Every structure is written in C-alpha cells, then in structure tokens.
Structure 1
C-alpha cells in the first residue's frame, strides 16, 4: 500500500493535506511532516496543508490558505482522521483523488485509497514509515523540519512514550528521528509548558474532580469556570492527562462546555472507552477518545455509563 500511495503522489502536481478538527500534535505532526517530506523530494509540486489553526500548535507549523480553484485536479490526503465528520475543511471532496492515512479503528472507510494501521502509535509514526518506503523506492530524503514535526506527533500521541500504544517500533523510529538537527528540549517545552492561568485551572481540576469507588473519575468545566480562568475550550486539551496520576483511576471524562455543545474527552488505563465515545457522537482509540453531548443531563448519563464500565472492568 505504501508504494501505491507513493506512485499516486507522483502523478499529481498539486497535493493538499487535511487532518481532523480540534487538532492535536499528531494531527499537525503527520500533516506537516508529510508536507515537508513531499516539498523536499518534489520541489516542482505545489504542496499545501490546510485547516483551522490552533495557536497552541504554532511551534509545529501554521496551515496554508488555499483557494477553491486549487482543488481542481489535486490529490487530497487526509491524515490522522477516522471519519469524514471530523475532517477539517469540507473541501476535501473537491480534489480528483482522495487518500486516507490513519491509525484509528477504520469504522468509516472513506477515500479512493486507504492505509489504516491500528497498531501504529500515531499517524506520525506511519508517515515516517512512508518516508522509509520512499527512501528505498525513490531515494527520498527526510528534512530536519519533517523529522521535528513527526517527533512532536509521536511524543504527543504516546504521552511521552508512556501510553500502551508505544511499541518497540515506536522507540526505533524515535531513535532515528532524534538524529536530525532539531532541538528536542525546545519541542518538549513548547508542548508541555503552560500559561499560568491554565495551571490555575489545572489546580481547580485537582481540587474538584469526582471519583467513584470503582475508579471512574470526571470533572465538569462550565463556561463560567473557563471564563473565570480565562481559558478557551481548545486550551483545555493540554490538561487531558491531568487526572491520570490519581491513584486507583481506571478511566476519566473531562467535560468542557463550548458555545452550543459540550466536548467530552475520554481517557482510560484499561477499560475500552471508544464504544462509549461512539454512543455519544464520537469515537477514537480504545484508551483515548473524544465525544460530544448537548446537555448536562446527557453528560450525567455518560458518567453513569463510565461508572458501569469501570465497575465491570477487572
């Protein structure tokens, strides 16, 4: 499949790369890692990476602005996005050919060509594998900027190599990437240093989380709370791992009130939570998912479901 993707890439003069809404480091890492690889190896092609910008990820890159006309006869590649509902920028359908590269469960099999590997720690890991195939097949080179973006994506999706998705291959690839010329400390600082107001909100989370006797943990962050700490719903993504350090926690939910819905961030140390996420308009990995509810009553039902899930987990 990797060679088929490379052959398809070579056929197009314009390539537009998409990723998911509410991006995380792996979304940017895979998207911009691929962009930088293709720019280095095909200087005569026009390569774009699109989507709404998250200022917390400026340290990786900034998306391009692309006209509707650019999609004419273009190859579109979507990275790190399980289903079409989550693709950032609906114009992904306007190209001539669509490729999906992803590591989430393949519930939505969109695209003219699909490469899905649920064993990969991250989509950035897959993009590095694509580079290695390109290196042996077409003599591809990996620029430092691409190595930096892919490293950030892998670090983000593995929780600094702590999550169970981290494999021997993950460490192997990370070992190759750190040989390139970029500042790892600067990457880590950009990913994990937080503004004081966000740390104050983290303190609020530690003081106010609720925990069931079976290890289900949750916290509700209303608009009033976010306004009090001057934090946006997007900013709270940096705090999703905060509850992982609680002794006895099996899985946790962080509810974040947005304009007309409530974001739900689900994480687990064992119970499989992506089916629960699907029940509430979401999905994702077995131990890391996202969902959406539309009232606090619906949020309470999700909490009850999590409690039941943790109760049954041995």
Structure 2
C-alpha cells in the first residue's frame, strides 16, 4: 500500500493533509511531518496542512490557510483520524481522492486508499515507514524539520516510550529520526514544560481524584474549577496522564466540563477502555481513548462502567 500511495502522490499537483480535531502531538507530527517530507521531495507541488490551530501545539508549528478552491482536483490525505466525524475541516470530502493513514481501529473505513496499522505506535511511525519506501523507490530525503515532527508524534503517543505500543521498530525509527540532528532538548521542553497555572491544576487533580478498591479512578473538572485556575479545557490535555503515577491505579477518567458538553478522557494501565469510549460518543486506543458526555448524570454512567471494567480485570 505504501508504494500505491506514493504513486498516487506523484499524480497530484495539490495535496491537502488533514488530521483530527482536538489535536495531540501525533496529529500534528504525522500531518506536518508528511507535509515537510513531500515539500522537500516535490518542491513543484503545493502541499497544505488543513485544520484549526491549537495553541498547545505552538511548539510544533501552524497549519496553512486553505481556500475552497484549493480542494478542486486535489489529493486529500487524512492522518491519525479514525472516523470522519473527527476530521478537522470537513471540506476534506471536496478533494478528488482521499487517503487515510491511521493506527486506530478501522471502524470507519473511509477513503479511496487506506493504510491502517493498529500495531503501529503512532501515525507518525507510519509516515516514517511511508518515507522509507519513498527513499527506496524514489530517492526521497528526510529533512530535519520532518524528522522533528515525526519524533514528537512518536514520543507523544508512546508516553516517551513507556506505553505498551512501543516496539523494537519504534525505537529503531526514533534512532533514525534523531540522526538528522534536530534539537531534542528544545522539543522536549516544548512538549512537557507547563505553566504554573497548569501545575496548580495538576495539584487539584491529585487532591480531588477518587479511586475505588479495584483501581478505577476519576476526577471532575468543572467550569468553575477551570475559571479558578484560569485554564482552558484544551490546555487540560497536558494533564491527562497525571494519575498514571498513582500506585494501584488500573484505569482512570478525567471529566472536563465545557459550555455544551463534558469531555471524557480515558486512560488505562491494563483494562481495555476503548469499547467504553464507544458507548459514549467516542473511541480510540485500548489504553487511551476519548468520549463525550452531555450531562453529569451521563458522567455517573461512565464512572459506573469504568468500575465494572476494572472489577472484571481483578
């Protein structure tokens, strides 16, 4: 499939790359990493990154301004996005052909060409593998800027190589990426340094989470709490893994209230939780998923189900 995707890329003058809403480092890393690879190796083509910018991703870069006319006769590539509802910028359907590159379960098999590998640590890892085939077949080169993006995506989705999704291949690819010489220290600082207000909210999470005897935990962050700490709902994404350091913790959920919905961020150190996410308007990986609740009553149902899952895993 990689060679088929490369052949398709060669046929188009305009290529627009999308990723998912509420982006994380792998969404940006796979999108911008692919953009920089294609720009470097096909300077005559127009390569655009679509989607609304998230300020928490400032350290990685910015998407492009994409007009309606840009989609005419274009190739659209969507990275790191399991289903069509989560594609950032729904104009992606206006392209002539769509390619999906993703490592989530393929529950929504959209696109004309699909490259899906649930065994990959990240979509950024998959983009590197696409580059490796391009290097072999077409002499592609890997610019430093692209390597930086892909490395960020990999360490973001593997929790700095701590998650079970990390494989020997993942380490080998990371090793190839750092050979380009980008500043890893600066990248790590951009990814993991937090403002004081976020550290204060992290303290609130540690003080207020509840955990049962089976290792199921939760914490609720209401609009009032966000206001008190002067933190946006988007910024809380940097804190979702905080409870993973708690001894005895099996799985946890952080609820973040917004004006019209409640974000549900699920993480696990063992029990599979993506099926739970699907029950509540979401999905994701077996150990890291997201969902949406529309009332605090619905939140209680999520908590009850999480407790059942952890109890069954005892």
TM-score range (shorter-chain normalised) is over 0.9
The residue number in structure 1 matching 2:73 is 73
2: CA distance, partners of 1:308 / 1:47: 47
Write the mapping of 1:266-285 to structure 2, written as runs, cut at 5 A.
Answer: 266-285=266-285
Measured after TM superposition, the shift of residue 9 of structure 1 is 0.3
Measured after TM superposition, the shift of residue 56 of structure 1 is 1.2
The residue number in structure 2 matching 1:57 is 57
1: CA distance, partners of 2:204 / 2:175: 37
The residue number in structure 1 matching 2:115 is 115
TM-score (norm 1): 1.00
Structure 2, unpaired ranges of 5+: none
Query: Cα deviation per residue 1:194-236 (whole Å; 9 max; x = unaligned)?
Result: 0000000000000000001100010000000000000000000
Query: Cα deviation per residue 1:62-100 (whole Å; 9 max; x = unaligned)?
Result: 000011000000000000000001000000000000000
Query: Cα deviation per residue 1:136-165 (whole Å; 9 max; x = unaligned)?
Result: 000000000000000000010000000000
The residue number in structure 2 matching 1:229 is 229
The residue number in structure 2 matching 1:15 is 15
Residue correspondences, number: 314
2: CA distance, partners of 1:215 / 1:269: 10
2: CA distance, partners of 1:68 / 1:14: 13
Find the residue that maps to 2:201 and give its secondary structure.
helix
Write the mapping of 1:288-307 to structure 2, written as runs, cut at 5 A.
Answer: 288-307=288-307
Matched, 1:264 2:250: no
Measured after TM superposition, the shift of residue 258 of structure 1 is 1.0
The residue number in structure 1 matching 2:146 is 146
The residue number in structure 1 matching 2:310 is 310
Find the residue that maps to 1:47 and give its secondary structure.
strand
The residue number in structure 1 matching 2:201 is 201
The residue number in structure 1 matching 2:48 is 48
Write the mapping of 1:14-33 to structure 2, written as runs, cut at 5 A.
Answer: 14-33=14-33
Measured after TM superposition, the shift of residue 58 of structure 1 is 1.2
Find the residue that maps to 1:16 and give its secondary structure.
strand
2: CA distance, partners of 1:246 / 1:252: 10
Find the residue that maps to 1:289 and give its secondary structure.
strand
Query: Cα deviation per residue 1:241-270 (whole Å; 9 max; x = unaligned)?
Result: 100001000000000001200000000011
Query: Cα deviation per residue 1:87-122 (whole Å; 9 max; x = unaligned)?
Result: 000000000000000000000000001000000000
2: CA distance, partners of 1:227 / 1:10: 49
The residue number in structure 2 matching 1:125 is 125
2: CA distance, partners of 1:204 / 1:58: 26
The residue number in structure 1 matching 2:244 is 244
Measured after TM superposition, the shift of residue 61 of structure 1 is 1.0
The residue number in structure 1 matching 2:87 is 87
Find the residue that maps to 1:188 and give its secondary structure.
helix
Task: List structure 1 runs of 4+ shifted beyond 2 angstroms.
Answer: none
TM-score (norm 2): 1.00
